[in-house]
Amino acid sequence: MEMTEYCSVIPQLENLHFTSTLIHFMPDDQVTLTREVEATLIPQGTPMTLPEGETVTVTHRLGGNFTVMTHNGMFRISGANADAIGEQVSAASQAAETEGANDPVSNDDLWEALKTVFDPEIPVNIVDLGLVYSLECSQREAGGHKVDMQMTLTAPGCGMGPVIAEDAQMRLQTVPGVAEAEVDIVWDPPWNQDMITEEGKMVLGLI
């Protein structure tokens, strides 16, 4: 697999040789789809349908979602469709419970929830990639709390942005006390490699 497939959305890392790190992080696993499944083409972000019986290679299992390779390219399969590739649907992919919606919201829980969100091409969560710029929590008149989040992407042309933002929104809404979450993608300040945490740089082989 060519390194550019992983680096297409992180131009600052194009000259760094971390392909072997990614492959070691999660070995390939070839499976046959047990049913037709909705998927998202990477990095364009185009929704597509993969047919029952197609053989795919699972390259990443991150945050409850799956990145697979087919003869037609790379796709993201959501955790809600995990059964199609013989995997169990993760609890994080299921709807959040409304019980305790008026309880105080833990800021630590919000950040931990976001650490389960990944760019499908990169084995580092969006927090350690430095993509999350702000989190604000407020009480709603209707009850519960609303979380407003601003995040960015590693490159403006990344078609997966809306998918990643939707995943972040869903994960935030699983946090006790959160009734609503809104995620906005912003470009100021522009993302750069220095925003990656030390842990993220270790995973990518940058240090």
User: Tell me: the pLDDT tens digits for 70-97?
Assistant: 998 999 998 889 999 998 876 554 444 4
Architecture of domain 107-204: 2-Layer Sandwich (3.30)
Q: Is 16 exposed, middle or buried (0-12, 13-18, 19+ CB in 10 A)?
A: middle
DSSP string, 42-61: ETT--EEEEPTT-EEEEEEE
**pTM score:** 0.72
CA distance 5 to 9: 9
Q: CATH 3.30.300.130 spans which residues of the chain?
A: 107-204
> Which uninterrupted H or E stretch holds 199?
helix 198-204
Lowest-pLDDT range of 91-100, 166-175, 178-187: 91-100
CATH architecture of 3-92: Roll (2.30)
* pLDDT (0 to 100) of residue 101: 58
Q: Where are the alpha helices (DSSP H) in 119-183?
A: 161-172
Output the pLDDT for position 1: 34
Segment 19-75, tens digit of pLDDT: 333 333 344 589 999 999 999 999 888 999 999 999 999 988 877 889 999 998 999
State the average pLDDT over residues 106-120: 94
Q: What is the pLDDT of residues 188-197, one digit of tens each?
A: 999 999 999 9
- Residue span(s) of the chain under CATH 2.30.30 come to 3-92
